[in-house]
Amino acid sequence: MKWQILYFELLYLIFYLDLERFRLCLFTPIQITEGHFEGNRPLLSVGDLKLVREILVKEFPSFANRRETHSGNVVVDSILPVLKGEDWKRVRSIVSPTFTTGKIRR
């Protein structure tokens, strides 16, 4: 019986809430990372700032490629979160010095 209630709650969340609100419902104060599938593509959402820094700064070669998006707009298709492979590494090496701790004021 308990699994049926959970199943129908999930159906409600999926069909009546937008995707971002649904993802927010999946996070709990204890669970700061969340994994799910979009079709057959595994996705990982991270809510811990230290882990985000570890992934985006220290381990960036392992996480260089993001999800594919093709807007048809040359400018939008050239921004850092959309680029892949060598293009991503080239643009990141250009942009990265801008965000060093010496240049960011808190």
Contacts by residues 11-18 (CB-CB < 8 Å, ≥ 24 positions apart): none
Comparing 91 with 21, which gets the higher pLDDT? 91
Say what the pLDDT of residue 2 is: 42
Query: In which residue are the tokens 């991503």 written?
Result: 88
What is this structure's pTM?
0.42
Say what the pLDDT of residue 3 is: 43
Q: Could you read off the pLDDT of 35-73 as tens digits, one per residue? A: 777 778 777 777 777 887 887 777 766 765 666 777 788
Written as six digits, the tokens of 96 are 């990265």
| Mean of pLDDT over the chain | 71
